[in-house]
Amino acid sequence: MTDSANAYLSLAETTGHDDPRWAFGSGFEQQDAAEVASPVPDGVAAADLAAYCLMLGDDALLAGHRLTEWVSNAPELEEEVALANIALDLLGQARVLLARAGHVEGAGRDEDTLAYLRTEAEFRHVALAEQPDDLDFGRCVARLLVFSTWRLALLHRLLGSADPVLAAVAGKGVKEVAYHRDHAARWTLRLGDGTPESHRRMQAALEWVWPFVDELFRPSDEERRLAAAGVAVDPAQVRAEFDAVLHEVLVRATLTRPDRPGIGPVAGRGGRQGLHTEKLGPLLAEMQSVARQHPGATW
Amino acid sequence: MVSAAAARAAAAAVVDPEMPMLTIADLGILREVTERGGAVSVTITPTYSGCPAVDAIRADVRAALAAAGFAAVEVRTVLAPPWSTDWITEDGRRKLAAAGVAPPGPAAPRPAGPVPLTLVPPASAVRCPRCGAADTVELSRFGPTACTALRRCRACAEPFEHVKEL
């Protein structure tokens, strides 16, 4: 570190093997927030807590990954920066949550192992998070509006979680996801109350996303047990808040709330139980390709 | 005590990699420095969850303390309490403005109930860091770093970064 006043110069230095850099050097350090090693709260099954951290972490990881598909494809440079920043916030939340899941599980899996070496059925996210928008900007906005409205309501309630990691992730995440939600809501307004073509496409995007809404409010067994222990949120409890926010946005945007049935659980199983749509396989194939082709590689 | 003060001073002088006009003490992300028998523990907190500069900051803190003669250095990251732009020091705000970056106003207090939507950008008191005019407009809510937004001054027509209130 000879010239700390110039960030780019110091990044490009060759300073040895023990000098991790975010852009060059030996690779990312593991997420090491002090809270991650906190003990499991009393009266809580470690397996439940690990599963719940995976659920919220996987939601953020996959929704963030979908947003990064817009990098180099966004309609304008500012929007590309916006979507990449939102993805980065979600990735940051995912890293802490996966690290916590790995710590609580106690089997030696770290955040990278969990992100890059699990198979489809081991992921616990909702179907919404994995849906590709096929670079249709209206779909991107609709998915982000639904996702961030739902996640903000969850995080807001997790501020008082008995688990210090969930409370800490919520403490930072509430501010971040509120900003994401405002971004999506303003685009919904602009497109819905814009030209006839933008209105038509925004309405079509809402119709596309709507079948994935109901699952967001369907509690898993783990969530029910953890909510009773003051650790998790029963997602059914945030439906009213979600509906009120969506109503406010859609009315202002001259859009119509879709009337479409949700995709149902299959034999009682959905994303939270590891049963996903056909969209997940190709996503994981891409997201995990480098880690699987070069096991243990750092750079 | 001399040693603890030296450790604190060395850590506090580390600059932020993304906003190099600020030290990590100016930015308010340096939470604690303790020293016992030559072993130093430094506690930092990230600005945003996904802040990509944290690894670089950790490395820079270790290097700065090594240069100050401390061999045993631990750098801890804590998430709670969450960082707020209210933690940027007055000195830091002056340095931001001098570098052409508008400093943040006071962060909004946490609402008691659900977080309200803001569908229309609120009236802003952000002044142009170049000419001081109050007539500025937001160009993009997301700037080149997670902490900043992009604005433009209608008086002098120059674009500038603004550290958004968090």
Q: Identify the CATH number of the domain in which residue A125 sits.
A: 1.20.1260.10
Facing A4 at nearest CB: one of B15, B18, B49: B15
Between helix A164-192 and helix A46-68 the angle, nearest 10°, is 30
Structural domain including A260 reads 42-288
Average confidence (pLDDT) over A282-286: 97
Confidence of residue B52 (pLDDT cuts 50, 70, 90): confident
Average confidence (pLDDT) over A214-220: 98
Looking from the CA of A86 toward its CB, the CA atoms found within 13 Å total 31
Q: Which of A172, A58, A157 minimizes the C-alpha distance to B79?
A: A172
- Position B110 scores a pLDDT of 82
- Tell me which chain A residue has its CA closest to the CA of residue B148: A85
- Position A31 scores a pLDDT of 61
Domain membership flag for residue A78: yes
* CA atoms of B93 and B115, how far apart (whole Å): 27
- Position B127 scores a pLDDT of 94
Domain membership flag for residue A21: no
Residue pair A235/A219 in contact (Cβ under 8 Å)? The answer is yes
Rg (alpha carbons) of chain A, rounded to whole number: 20
Count the Cβ atoms, other than its own, within 10 Å of residue B77.
23
Average confidence (pLDDT) over A165-181: 97
Q: Which of A223, A117, A109, A217 minimizes the C-alpha distance to A166?
A: A223
How far off is chain A from B115, nearest CA to CA, in Å?
7
Asked if pLDDT for residue A30 goes beyond 80, the answer is no
Residue pair B62/B42 in contact (Cβ under 8 Å)? The answer is no
- Position A56 scores a pLDDT of 98
* CA atoms of A146 and A246, how far apart (whole Å): 8
What ipTM does this complex have?
0.94
Average confidence (pLDDT) over A143-169: 98
* CA atoms of B148 and B153, how far apart (whole Å): 16
- Position A215 scores a pLDDT of 98
Domain membership flag for residue A268: yes
Domain membership flag for residue A297: no
* CA atoms of A289 and B11, how far apart (whole Å): 39
Looking at the structure of chain A, the number of domains it has is 1
CB proximity B34 to A under 8 Å: no
Residues 6+ apart with CB under 8 A from A243: none
Confidence of residue A22 (pLDDT cuts 50, 70, 90): very low
- Position A298 scores a pLDDT of 75
How far off is chain A from B152, nearest CA to CA, in Å?
14
Could you report the per-residue pLDDT of B93-139, keeping only the tens digit for each? 999 999 999 999 999 888 888 899 999 887 778 999 999 999 999 99
- Position B74 scores a pLDDT of 94
Facing A34 at nearest CB: one of B46, B64, B78: B78
Domain membership flag for residue A278: yes
- Position A13 scores a pLDDT of 46
- Position A28 scores a pLDDT of 53
Average confidence (pLDDT) over B143-148: 88
Domain membership flag for residue A213: yes
Contact B82 A33 (CB under 8 A): no
User: Which chain B residues are Cβ-neighbours of A183 within 8 angstroms?
Assistant: 141-142
- Position A264 scores a pLDDT of 86
Average confidence (pLDDT) over A4-26: 45
Between helix A137-158 and helix A46-68 the angle, nearest 10°, is 150
> Which residues face B40 on adjacent strands?
B35, B73
- Position A32 scores a pLDDT of 76
Domain membership flag for residue A5: no
* CA atoms of B78 and B91, how far apart (whole Å): 24
* CA atoms of A145 and A184, how far apart (whole Å): 5
In order of start, what are the domains of chain B with their CATH numbers?
A: 2-77 (3.30.300.130), 101-110+121-163 (no CATH)
What 8-state DSSP symbol labels residue B123? P
Percent of all residues in chain A with a pLDDT value above 90, rounded to a whole number: 86
Domain membership flag for residue A7: no
Q: Which of A285, A243, A226 minimizes the C-alpha distance to A40?
A: A226
Residues 6+ apart with CB under 8 A from B32: B41, B42, B43
Residue pair A104/A264 in contact (Cβ under 8 Å)? The answer is no
What 8-state DSSP symbol labels residue A25? S
- Tell me which chain A residue has its CA closest to the CA of residue B109: A175
What tokens does A194 get?
Answer: 């814009």
Asked if pLDDT for residue A297 goes beyond 90, the answer is no
- Position A29 scores a pLDDT of 60
What tokens does A108 get?
Answer: 């030696």
Confidence of residue A299 (pLDDT cuts 50, 70, 90): low
Rounding to the nearest 10 degrees, give the CA dihedral for residues A239, A36, A44, A117: 80
Contact A81 B140 (CB under 8 A): yes
